[in-house]
Structure 1
Amino acid sequence: MSDAASLTTVALRPWPAPTKDALSKEDLSAQIHQLTTERGHLRGITEKALQEEIDAGKSVPEDVMEGAETEPKKDAPAADERLKDIHRVRNEMHTKIEWAYFAAGNALNLVSLLLSRDPAKALDSGYTQMFREMNVPRGSFGIDRTVRIDDTQREEDSAKRRELVTKGSRMEALDWATDSLLQAATELETGIRKETKYWEEVLSISEKGWSLQRTRREARNAPFAVRYGLPEASNHFKARGLAPLRMNKDGGIILDSTLSLKPKTMRIRISENDKIVGTSHLPSQGGLGELAIEQSIQLARDSLFEEELFHEISMESRNLLAYGIELRNSVLHITTPALGGQSSHRKVLIDCASRDDNTLAGSDQSQHRLAQSIAEGLRLLLAHEHRMRLYRRSQVPPPLTQIKRQQPGPPLLRTLLGLFSHLTAADALHSYLNTLAKTLKSAGLDVWLDTSRDASWAKLTHSLEQSPMKDLSAIDQLLTLFTRPFDGTATISLPSTSGPQPENITIATRTFIGQPTFGAEHKISLPSSIIKVLDLEPDQSRQFKFPSTDEAQAYVDWILSLDIAHSVISKEYAGRVYSTDHEPRVSILSKGSMKNLAKEDSVLVLLEKGRLTVTATANTSLMTGTAGESFTWDGTPGKATLKNKVRSWIA
């Protein structure tokens, strides 16, 4: 009982192997690898599963199991016999390996020898060492293929097909070459025709005087460009004055796309009482595509010139706002006096419009010549400014300074305003002086009048001959006069000094839109006889300036009234005349008819608005029996003279 009880508590463990039979790490890894290969992953191997397989006999082949059951167990061979069997098997293996190596080397030698017929494939590295020592000539061994009848026929058919394919391919290549040559010849002919036409037009443009230059990028369809802008234009418009000469599909020249726009022009309109009475215009030329290339370039240059002119005028108007200039909706409104003494609200409207705009063609055009003259004058002034820029650049430059010199803009509007102001002031004064001279002559006073709108215009030939700018053309010297102050003169003689050497009153009218006058100014120079009447000191100035025409007219009236009163009437009644102030009034003493008492008569001379009025008053009565008499001369002929009329009043 004790033995049985002890067996129930015995643990089954593998018997420890001897140290000499213990497995190393390498052997253990090999066995684990073998088990993994035979049975899969080790996770499913358990002691119970292995015991079941042993009991079932799965790990032993069936024929072995059967043999083990039927055949009797033999005795194990001896160690000497097993060793002999191992040596025998090893020798057989070596023999087989040597024969295999020999056969492979012969095959390699054979293939290399066959390939040696081709010089490009003769490689000594393809032979074995033994074959190299035999010194067999290269290319001495060949192989031929035995061709059957069917193969010969097939090859002949293939050769015929290849020949037909070759002929067809050659014919197709010849056709393609022919077509290519014909196409190339056509393209060459077209290119020659286009190039010929292009260079003919380029030559025509050059012969017309236009400046040509190569384009920077050497564009294939536009190798040249034409410089149609003016060389002395402002920087912005100078950059726009270059257009590439592109070649179209027919070989003709087409200008840049920016030039295909409608040509512009500076339009001048005259407005009187808010009604357009005059418009300037240039003749219509049609579109650029309808004109020859030279005319298109000319039209583009004119349009660019007109745009520059309007740009310069717009820039100049910013400094002339005090002169009644306004810019509204891209239109300049310039308030100008009516020329010729007309009383109307006149404006000059300047804008940039299309050259083909004829919307105002049917309106009133009574001032068409004035509008056209203003437009042509502004164009001449801008062209003159371009030439003057070239002239100034060709002169010796001034000394260098650290102060940057400001180049003023061209005086376009200033010249126009100055001319309008000068003509208005000079014409108004001269018209009044003519009326005044006519009135004085109707009163029996001998006067003469000489007027000139501008002194430089009167002596133009002499000015051109004495001009220091000899290298300037006559037209530029003439236009230079318009950019300077305008100086008009008027000379009227005194009524008291008629004769070969009369004394005169000189009125100089100077107009300039700038320093120092900023408009029209009248300067009156008095003769010595008037100086005596006014009792002026010798060192006092004999010239008086007046900023308006009305003031100058009033002063001339007063001076002539003084001369008539203190000179003309005083000479008629010498010794009996005296005056107490500097007024055109004299007192005449005469003997009365009663008791020889002296009588004093006062004579007042008044010139005003072209009318001469003489008024005589007395303390008692005049010869006419009245206390006062008055008579007026307005230039109507056939009236009594001033001397006779005064004599009829005063004894």
Structure 2
Amino acid sequence: MIGSRARTPVTWIRCSRRSSLIELSSRLPLRPACSPSTWGHSLKSGSPSIMADSFKLPLRPVIEKSDRPDSLPRDIAQINAQWGSFRELTEASLREKIEADKDKDPWAEEDEADQETADVDTSERMEQLYKRRAEIIQFAGEAHAEASFALDFVSLLLSKHNPRQAETTMSLFLKNAAPLGSLNSEVIDPPPRPDTALGDIKSVARGWRLQNFNNAASKLLNAGLRLNVEVDAETEYWGQVLAVKEKGWKVCRLPRDGQALGVQYGFLEATPLFRDRGLAALRRADDGKLVLDKGLVPRKTQGVRVRIKYQGRIIGCSKVCRPSQDVESTESRILQARDTLFEEELFYEIMREARVLGNQGVTTRQNLVKVPVSEEQEILLDLVDWDQDHASEEAASSNEQNALADAISHSIRILLTFAHRQNLRRRTEPPLPLAPKRRPVSEYQILRPVMAYLQHKSHIQWLESFIASLRRVLEAADIKCDFSATQFSSIGVLQPNHLFPKVESLVGVFLAPFESTFSGTLITPRSSFKVRIRTNPTVPPVGTFYDISVNLPQFPEVQPLNRVGLQGEVAQAVTHFVMLDLAAAISLQNPKNQGSPGKVSWEVAYPHHGELLARDTAGQSKKMKVSLSHEELNIQTYSLSRGEGFAKPVATKSALLSQTWKPGASGPQPSLVEFVAQASRP
């Protein structure tokens, strides 16, 4: 590309009066020596190469016509500058000028100017530039000096009346050369004014004074009216503020705005996150009404809802506090803000405590806390708006379960208030010694007492149900026994104390471990058992434990384990002790006292297996197997062969005697005494 361009002649043409060069392609048959008119004629003649390429290039700038024609004074000024006076301008001279321009080469002037420019040496041009630069700098310096002299003159003139302000604009030379106030100006012998002008000035001055007096009177009247409105508004505002204070609310100044008042509706013993939000500003509206700060007052009333879920179904739900009907009242809005803030803090503390109780099965979601009570029952706590109180369509609740949910709801609120009182007591006591590490703030005890109570109640219900089923089995065999349960009790005792209010002492009892006791008499005389259930809400070890104690005169060496934690182990131990007493009762039945000397006498051989042995006068051996559970009582008798001793029963149908007692069985059933008497026959 470069080589081909070097071999091809290139023609440069000066375009219009902008001194710009346009490079044309070598395919155009342009000649450097030809004149523009000849070149234009060749274009019109239609060269084959030009016609083939259809290449068009404008050589003159487009003349844009102005939208508005030049005014006549401007045209006259242009004619005077170009031709001189109108006396020297004639029609003949204009025609001669037009004819001369037709024969003149349009490129001649520009070529001459370019030739003159090209002839100037580079060194001379640089010298001219330096001279022009020096002249510009000199002119700028002179202008700056003249402006400085004028500024100093004005400053010195003003220093007579405003010396401090004029001194700041004076130059250092003027300050040293002339003192302040040494130049002044006065009007000397002003020209006299006619009487008509003086009369007009007086009339205008009188009119201005009257107008200013009218404006001042109007402003004073408007100010008076506005002052009356402000007085009425302030009176109404302060009356509402006093009404709020008389209701018992604390009114104080805002910490960051000393000119504004605020009402303290929050709790001072709450965590800092909610304590700082418990102060709302009492603003005054234009009409004097009291307005709470809208940035702190919640839009809707919120509350913690408690639901009881049993086997995947909601069976109980608590009630959420509803707003008052008088929404426009300041008192109702303050109460709404206080209740909502309290509910938000309650749910915050519940979520904070639930994260610590994860090892006890408590789970948290975005706005939900699940507290397990038993394998089939759990408690759900969430923060909802008041209009979502009964929005759950799946709730098939009962009055009893709703009462339980309401009781749990009231309990957690009482426990949060109790925690606030504990914070107040700690704050009023002497502080602890300083430590290098900051003492952590422990979680409030809100869920743990409730969980302990519900778990304790669940264990009591289970034990009552188990003992009732065991008693029904024994009653089916006509066995008399007495099982009783003491009332629910707590380790803590409510004692009068003048240092603590009675309400706090009552809550302290609720925070103590729970304990309940079950006792019962067995079949044999002086045989009894006792089961003590103890649940610790906060004191380690946390959870429910069973302490079982028995009194078996026939087996004095039998003693149960202490602190049993599993319900299955408790059920197994109680059943085993009743089975031991049942075997002892069978062995105590003496057939001689019944007038049947031929009957055998049973003896307990393996008490922990429920086996009894007997031998009649003919030397025939028998074995009785006692099996007891909370569902049935089964007794089987076997005849033992002489060759095998007591080890192996004879597997004959006539040698086996069995009886099973179940509660609610149809048909007549023999009693245990009758069955033993039948089994004792030879």
TM-score range, shorter chain: 0.5 to 0.7
CA contact (8 A) 1:262 1:355 kept: yes
In structure 2, the CA distance between the partners of 1:217 and 1:421, relative to structure 1 (3 Å rule), is: closer
d(CA) in 2 for partners of 1:612, 1:281: 48
Q: Superposition pairs for residues 60-459 of structure 1, below 5 Å?
A: 154-155=194-195, 157-220=196-259, 223-256=260-293, 257-272=295-310, 274-285=312-323, 290-337=327-374, 344=376, 346-357=377-388, 360-366=391-397, 368-394=402-428, 405-452=439-486, 454-456=488-490
Q: Secondary structure at the match of 1:315?
A: helix
Q: Match for 2:479: what amino acid?
A: L
Query: Is residue 605 of structure 2 the alignment partner of residue 580 of structure 1?
Result: yes
CA contact (8 A) 1:565 1:584 kept: no
CA contact (8 A) 1:439 1:636 kept: no
d(CA) in 2 for partners of 1:264, 1:428: 36
d(CA) in 2 for partners of 1:478, 1:145: 102
Could you list the per-position Cα deviations for residues 554-600 of structure 1 after superposition, in whole angstroms to 9, with x for gaps in the alignment?
110000110111245325469944333342535353534xxxx2333
* Larger CA deviation: 186-195 vs 276-285: 276-285
d(CA) in 2 for partners of 1:324, 1:332: 11
Deviation, structure 1 residue 483: 2.3
Query: Is residue 652 of structure 2 the alignment partner of residue 618 of structure 1?
Result: no
Gaps of 5+ in 1: 1-143, 339-343
In structure 2, the CA distance between the partners of 1:260 and 1:381, relative to structure 1 (3 Å rule), is: closer
Q: Secondary structure at the match of 2:350?
A: helix
Deviation, structure 1 residue 409: 1.0
CA contact (8 A) 2:512 2:537 kept: no
Match of 2:517 among 478, 489, 510: 489
TM-score normalised according to structure 2 size = 0.62
Q: Match for 1:261: what amino acid?
A: R
Could you list the per-position Cα deviations for residues 383-442 of structure 1 after superposition, in whole angstroms to 9, with x for gaps in the alignment?
222223334445566777777654421122222322232222221011111222233344
In structure 2, the CA distance between the partners of 1:321 and 1:195, relative to structure 1 (3 Å rule), is: same
Query: Is residue 630 of structure 2 the alignment partner of residue 609 of structure 1?
Result: yes
d(CA) in 2 for partners of 1:602, 1:488: 40
Q: Secondary structure at the match of 1:262?
A: coil
CA contact (8 A) 2:487 2:516 kept: yes
CA contact (8 A) 2:301 2:322 kept: no
**Which is greater in Rg?**
1
Deviation, structure 1 residue 302: 0.9
Deviation, structure 1 residue 317: 1.7
Q: Match for 2:347: what amino acid?
A: F
Query: Is residue 530 of structure 2 the alignment partner of residue 506 of structure 1?
Result: yes
Deviation, structure 1 residue 473: 3.5
d(CA) in 2 for partners of 1:432, 1:146: 128
Could you list the per-position Cα deviations for residues 357-406 of structure 1 after superposition, in whole angstroms to 9, with x for gaps in the alignment?
35725442415444433333222221222223334445566777777654
Q: Match for 1:364: what amino acid?
A: A
Could you list the per-position Cα deviations for residues 261-291 of structure 1 after superposition, in whole angstroms to 9, with x for gaps in the alignment?
3332223344455554544342432799x33
- The residue number in structure 2 matching 1:646 is 676
Match of 1:556 among 560, 564, 574: 574
Deviation, structure 1 residue 526: 1.8
In structure 2, the CA distance between the partners of 1:641 and 1:478, relative to structure 1 (3 Å rule), is: farther
In structure 2, the CA distance between the partners of 1:578 and 1:470, relative to structure 1 (3 Å rule), is: farther
d(CA) in 1 for partners of 2:258, 2:289: 16
CA contact (8 A) 2:602 2:612 kept: yes
Deviation, structure 1 residue 525: 1.1
Q: Match for 2:571: what amino acid?
A: Q
CA contact (8 A) 1:496 1:568 kept: no
CA contact (8 A) 1:432 1:610 kept: no
d(CA) in 2 for partners of 1:317, 1:253: 41
Q: Secondary structure at the match of 1:546?
A: coil
Match of 1:475 among 503, 514, 527: 503
Deviation, structure 1 residue 543: 5.0
- The residue number in structure 1 matching 2:180 is none
Q: Secondary structure at the match of 1:533?
A: coil
Gaps of 5+ in 2: 1-188, 593-599, 642-648
Q: Match for 1:522: what amino acid?
A: Y
d(CA) in 2 for partners of 1:318, 1:450: 40
Q: Secondary structure at the match of 2:545?
A: strand
CA contact (8 A) 2:590 2:601 kept: no
Q: Secondary structure at the match of 1:422?
A: helix
d(CA) in 1 for partners of 2:613, 2:191: 168
CA contact (8 A) 1:331 1:351 kept: yes
d(CA) in 2 for partners of 1:445, 1:224: 79
d(CA) in 1 for partners of 2:561, 2:431: 40
Deviation, structure 1 residue 217: 4.6
Could you list the per-position Cα deviations for residues 199-241 of structure 1 after superposition, in whole angstroms to 9, with x for gaps in the alignment?
1111111111111111235554xx2111111122112111111
Query: Is residue 585 of structure 2 the alignment partner of residue 523 of structure 1?
Result: no
TM-score normalised according to structure 1 size = 0.65
d(CA) in 1 for partners of 2:483, 2:537: 28
In structure 2, the CA distance between the partners of 1:573 and 1:506, relative to structure 1 (3 Å rule), is: farther
CA contact (8 A) 1:267 1:351 kept: yes
Q: Percent identity?
A: 25
In structure 2, the CA distance between the partners of 1:283 and 1:402, relative to structure 1 (3 Å rule), is: closer
d(CA) in 2 for partners of 1:273, 1:389: 39
d(CA) in 2 for partners of 1:326, 1:358: 22
d(CA) in 2 for partners of 1:434, 1:158: 125
- The residue number in structure 1 matching 2:116 is none
CA contact (8 A) 2:528 2:552 kept: no
In structure 2, the CA distance between the partners of 1:646 and 1:270, relative to structure 1 (3 Å rule), is: same
Q: Match for 2:466: what amino acid?
A: Y
In structure 2, the CA distance between the partners of 1:644 and 1:396, relative to structure 1 (3 Å rule), is: farther
d(CA) in 2 for partners of 1:602, 1:555: 24
In structure 2, the CA distance between the partners of 1:406 and 1:166, relative to structure 1 (3 Å rule), is: closer
Q: Secondary structure at the match of 1:348?
A: strand
* Larger CA deviation: 203-212 vs 273-282: 273-282
